[in-house]
Amino acid sequence: MGPRLLPPLLAATLITASLTGCSLKERICRSGEHPVKAVGNATGRTCVRDGTDPPAGYVRYPADKTPTHVGDEWDRYWNGKVLDEHGNVTSG
């Protein structure tokens, strides 16, 4: 692919992404998964399949406060917060 094709190809990709609702923001979890927060840890989290319970040592985020993209409002909010085994904030 020659250097003359790269700008039009990049433009076409960006236009397609914007028209199809794709986001260039980095998602925290893959499609079909949701994040869960580590208990007793300010930064720990992992992703689990939708419809499954968190593994031992993790709790669900409140439904209306679940981070979706890296750096979004709830990702920033939960960074530094420590939760207990019931999902209550204990520090941060």
pLDDT single digits (tens) 37-83: 999 999 999 999 999 999 999 999 998 999 999 999 999 999 999 99
Contact 51, 33 (CB under 8 A): no
Q: Which domain holds residue 65?
A: 25-91
Q: Label residue 91 by pLDDT band (50, 70, 90).
A: confident
Q: Is residue 18 part of a domain?
A: no
Cα–Cα–Cα angle for 2, 7, 1, rounded to 5 degrees: 20
Place of tokens 């209550």: 88
Q: Is residue 14 part of a domain?
A: no
| pLDDT of res. 58 | 97
| pLDDT of res. 44 | 93
Q: Is residue 6 part of a domain?
A: no
For the chain, how big is the Rg over CA atoms in Å? 18
| pLDDT of res. 15 | 63
Q: Is residue 41 part of a domain?
A: yes
| pLDDT of res. 4 | 67
Q: Which two tokens stand for residue 20?
A: 């199809």
Domain count, the chain: 1
